[in-house]
Structure 1
Amino acid sequence: MTKAFKVPHTLILLLLMMIVAYVATWLVPQGFFETVTLDNGRQTVVPGTFALTDEQIRLTPMDFLVAIPRAFAAAQDVIFFVFIVGGVLAVARATGTIDALIGNLLEKFGQKPHMLIFMVVFCFAMASGAIGTAGEYIPFVLILVGLCKAMRLDSMTAVGMVVTGYGIGYGVSAFNPFTVMVAQTISEVPVYSGIEVRLAIFIPFVLIGFHHVWSYAKKVLENPANSMTAHLPCPLADIDEADYPKLALRHKLILLGLVLTIATAVWGISQHGWYLYELGALFILWGIVTAVLGKLSANTAADQFIEGVKDLATTAMLIGVARGIALIMEDGQILHSLVYGMSYPLSFVGSEIAAVGMFIMQTLLNLFIPSGSGQAYVTIPLLAPVGDLVGVYRQVVVLAYQFGDGFSNMIIPTNAVLMGIIGMAGVPYHLWFRFCFPLMIKLMTAAAIVLVLAVTFDYGADVQPTITTNVTQN
């Protein structure tokens, strides 16, 4: 009798992807584009300069093994931020604040789960689209997991709300400074131009995401056996509806501290370029204030913090190994080769096909270049002149880049924020993939339709720069 196939652990899946990347460095021709350094210190590629390297680098098995600890070092900012958030939330939980908040929200949304789902997806999409928030959502995961459990939903629904809002917000952002502004600057169209179209498609795409999450949630409500995570232990599993404490003044003050922490983080990111180190510092401060307001002894707070960190050790491992996939490709000098190989055929097809092809290319490349701004600096200088050649205006090129970078953030295992979110909720990657893949198909279909219409109706013609193209065709 054939033994049933068992899906490997997420860590094994990521290691297998690292092996595939390692083998690819031996098979894919190695090459580079020339790069120039911009005024902001970032490097961008020069179109038409791709060349194969004279000397091929052959990574050894030792290079592969060394890449794993190097990847942990490269992802240390995300890893330690996740540790800090996990520890501080454990301290907040010990004060009863999280349980009290869940009880309070349950009173308001217990009979209206669809309202909760729409509100979370919409608000997270708004925040990601406006200021590029991503890792800042990690603190909300356990709160939503506990709330969903109390509403007879599951942790997959909680993750679905967070990640759907995050991915759609990036994908259809009107003015995200880390993606839209960077891509438009590189493509030499006015910053934040074409905003009317991006605002117009925001709600339709949010509704697609909401419908997907709510359709799944309804099945779980009808029959808990329909839950993809029914067989898994749930974080906050010890919460019982009868045990919810009242939302007392000290709880409200602690929650006010969280709001001020997030608000300060948003201000610091937008005004001073803060990121995870500064955000970690803010959460440490909130943790100290929480322990004081919650009247926890120093030893109790320390014990709770350590327990919270312990719970996220697996998540940290996944984040570190995920970074190793791109690292192997960079070491093996095939990243630019992949970009060139994907972009070159687009110069021979019609404008509508080219626009959709750019979107698909950006989606695939996000697996290897998970940074939104980093991807823009590598791909936009190549795709903008290709668009000039085939009749795709640069505004459409930027839109294709947004769609590809944003939506794929929801599913690529090299996205450290995604791995942090699903790890916090205890959702294995293969189950998340099953949940998210149909949503990706829906969003990609809608995005392809928008791109074809954008080309058809000359979106961006009014801001198209007059530039002599130099696309090399070999």
Structure 2
Amino acid sequence: MGRQMKVPHTLVLLLGMMVVALLATWVVPQGFFETSITDSGRKMVVAGTYQLVEQKEYLTPWDLLTAIPKAFAQAQDVIFFVLIVGGVLSIARATGTVDALIGRLLEKHGTKPQRLIFMVVFCFALASSTIGTAGEYIPFVLILVALCKAMKLDAMTAVGMIVAGYGIGYGVSAFNPFTVLIAQQIADIPVYSGIELRLAIFIPFVLIGFHHVWSYAKKVSQDPSKSMMIGVPCPLEGQAKPSYPKLNKRHQTILFSFIITLCVAVWGIATKGWYLYELGGLFVAWGVVIAILGKLSADETAERFIEGVSELVTTAVLIGVARGIALILEDGQILHTLVYGMSSPLSHVAAEISAVGMLVIQTFLNTFIPSGSGQAYVTMPLMVPVGDLVGVPRQVAVLAYQFGDGFSNMIIPTNAVLMGILGMAGVPYTHWFRFCLPLIGKLLLAASIVLVLAVSFGYGLDVQPIIE
């Protein structure tokens, strides 16, 4: 049997990209666009002003090494926000609220496969869309596998429900703090602006995911021989049925406090200009409320918080290193050259086609940068000026980033959450690839249509920065 290809660790890929970026600064022509200052004080390139530098400067390997701590410093607000949210969500899990909510959902809809599949895809997509949950779904894998087994379905159906919800939620996110908020901040447009369109397309995309999973589950239910899992051992063989806590009044109160927290966040962003520092403080406050309502001791709350933070340390590191790639491109004076090179071919086609081209680029790059926040830092500094030059509104560029990041997360082997879910469910990646690829095709086609229409109807022009 031949050797299987081993996918390098994401950190290795990012560091490799930093090395490639450094080498690129030695061979790619260095140049720049003239810039103007937007009304918010950020720099924005001016179309048609690209020119080469008079004297080329070379970065050294030492510049590569120092770029890493510099990048961490520049991305510190995002890094610490991610860690805080992770810690607070861990406190919420410790109260049993998340388990009880999912358990209640399964209890109510578990005997009706069609309804169950829709509710799981919908609820997981909603959670990912609003607060960016992903790894939190891993504990529910075996519960769903057991339920599917009881309904004479297979583990592929269980994984399909989870991953379809997770990927679609990220792809059409209304206000995911790890993707939408960061990308819009980099694009210099108001955070959470354009939410009407994202809310409007949420249900249609969820229905695409539901239809794909249900069509497969229906075939397996009618003819078990059509299951993709034939011959693959089930991880629950010989194990007792998983259990989950009942949803009591304490859990309901904690869920209500979360809704209140979200409302306060939306109010603060809309009326007070809140951003990561204020939102981080709000999540800390919610964590204290959770601990009190959940009757957790101070020590247990601290332990759970640290546990949640530690689970997201990898994500935080990837965000910092990903920022380092853009930093090298900037210091090496080739960032604008890449923008010019990317915008040149796109400038020969309609802006609608350029928007679809951005989706293709984002989808491809997500293979190497599966972190949504990290991808925003790498790609948005390129996509925003490209959009400015070819007539694609920044809001549309952000939407193309969301689609490319979220949907491809469902299939790329560098996504740690996906591989963890597949591993727990006992689903081989090759089997999952065959199941998921048609779904990715459907979603990308629908996303392309949305992008074309968004450009045609001027989506985002109302918040496009004004040059002084």
How does the TM-score come out when normalised to structure 2? 0.70
Partner of 2:287: 287
Residue of structure 2 in register with 1:262 after alignment:
262
Are the aligned partners of 1:22 and 1:328 in contact in 2 as well (CA < 8 Å)? yes
- Which of 346, 361, 364 in structure 1 is aligned with 2:361? 364
The corresponding residue for 2:117 is: 114
User: Which residue of the partner structure matches residue 143 of structure 2?
Assistant: 150
In the alignment, the residues of structure 1 paired with residue 45 and residue 23 of structure 2 have an alpha-carbon distance, to the nearest angstrom, of 25
The answer (yes or no) to whether the contact 1:71–1:324 under 8 Å persists in 2 is yes
How far residue 288 of structure 1 moved from its aligned partner, in angstroms, is 1.3
> Who is 1:390 aligned against?
none
Q: 1:258 Cα deviation (Å)?
A: 1.6
| Equivalent residue pairs, number | 415
Task: In structure 1, give the amino acid aligned to 2:55.
Answer: E
Counterpart of 1:472 in structure 2 is: none
Q: CA deviation at 1:34?
A: 0.6
- Structure 1 residue 329 corresponds to structure 2 residue 329: yes
8 A contact 2:125–2:168 mirrored in 1: no
Once residues 13 and 203 of structure 2 are traced to their aligned partners in structure 1, the CA distance between those partners, rounded to angstroms, is: 35
CA change 1:445–1:50 in 2 (3 A) is: same
Q: Distance in 2 between matches of 1:215 and 1:148?
A: 20
Deviation at 1:15, TM superposition (A): 2.1
Residue 172 of structure 2 corresponds to residue 168 of structure 1: yes
Which 10-residue stretch deviates more, 445-454 or 44-53? 445-454
Q: Give the Cα separation in 1 of the matches to 2:94 and 2:423.
A: 23
Cα distance in 2 between the residues matched to 1:254 and 1:454: 38
Partner of 1:401: 397
One-letter code of the match for 2:144?
Answer: M
Please provide the CA RMSD for this pair: 4.8
In the other structure, the counterpart of 2:54 is: 54
Structure 2 residue matching 1:409: 3-state secondary structure? helix
Cα deviation code 1:386-417 (max 9, x no counterpart): xxxxxxxx7xx67863553331232689xxxx
| 1:51 alignment partner AA | Q
- The alpha carbon displacement at 1:364 in A equals 2.7
Counterpart secondary structure, 1:329: helix
Q: Does 1:20 align with 2:20?
A: yes
Work out whether residues 14 and 321 of structure 1, in 8 Å CA contact, stay in contact via their aligned partners in 2.
yes
In 2, Cα distance between the equivalents of 1:216 and 1:20?
42
Amino acid at match of 1:167: G
| Unmatched segments (≥5 aa) in structure 1 | 232-238, 385-393, 465-474
> SS where residue 44 of structure 1 aligns?
strand
Aligned to 1:470: none
CA gap 1:359/1:401 in 2 versus in 1, 3 angstroms: farther
Following superposition of structure 1 onto structure 2, how do residues 346-365 of structure 1 map, counting pairs within 5 Å?
346-348=346-348, 351=350, 355-361=352-358, 363-364=360-361
8 Å contact from structure 1 (residues 164, 209) kept in 2: yes
Q: CA deviation at 1:170?
A: 6.8
- Aligned counterparts of 2:307 and 2:76: Cα–Cα separation in 1: 20
**Could you list the per-position Cα deviations for residues 274-306 of structure 1 after superposition, in whole angstroms to 9, with x for gaps in the alignment?**
233222212211111222222222122222222
Partners of 1:92 and 1:200 in 2: CA distance: 30
Q: Kindly tell me: are residues 156 and 278 of structure 1, through their superposed partners in 2, closer, same or farther at Cα, counting changes over 3 Å?
A: farther
Give the whole-Å Cα distance in 2 for the aligned partners of 1:212 and 1:316. Answer: 33
Deviation at 1:51, TM superposition (A): 0.7
Partner of 2:314: 314
CA–CA distance in 2 between the matches of 1:297 and 1:124? 27
Answer whether contact 2:71 2:323 (CA < 8 A) is retained: yes
Aligned to 2:150: none
In the alignment, what sits opposite 2:387? 380
Helix, strand or coil for the counterpart of 1:151?
helix
Deviation larger for 88-97 or 146-155: 146-155
What is aligned with 1:38? 38
Question: For the structure 1 residues 343 and 365, does the alpha-carbon distance in structure 2 shift closer, same or farther, using more than 3 Å as the test?
Answer: farther
Q: Deviations over 1:174-225 (max 9, x none)?
A: xx99989999999xxxx98xx99x9987765454444456668889997695
Q: 1:294 to 1:376 in 2, by over 3 A?
A: same
- Which residue pairs with 2:132 in the alignment? 137
Question: Residues 439-454 of structure 1 correspond to what in structure 2 (within 5 A)?
Answer: 439-448=439-448
* Cα distance change on mapping 1:267 and 1:334 into 2, 3 Å: same
Structure 1 length as normaliser, TM-score? 0.70
* Structure 2 residue identity aligned to 1:290: I
CA distance, structure 1, for counterparts of residue 160 and residue 135 of structure 2: 11
Partner of 2:406, secondary structure, is: coil
Could you tell me whether the CA contact under 8 Å between 1:403 and 1:447 is conserved in 2? no
Residue type of the alignment partner of 1:383: V
Partners of 1:120 and 1:165 within 8 A in 2: no
| Cα distance between partner residues in 2 of 1:39 and 1:398 | 15
Deviation at 1:36, TM superposition (A): 0.6
- Partner AA of 2:122 in structure 1: M
Where 2:282 maps in the other structure, the secondary structure is helix
Q: Which of 10-19 and 161-170 deviates more?
A: 161-170
Cα pair distance change 1:43/1:20, threshold 3 Å: same
Inter-CA distance 200–83: structure 2 relative to 1 (3 Å threshold): closer
Calculate percent identity across the aligned residue pairs: 48
Residue 107 of structure 1 aligns to a residue whose secondary structure is helix
Would the aligned equivalents of 1:34 and 1:46 in 2 still touch at CA under 8 Å?
A: yes
Instruction: Report if the CA contact (8 A) 1:315-1:424 is conserved.
Output: no
Alpha-carbon spacing, 1:185–1:15, altered in 2? closer, same or farther (3 Å): closer
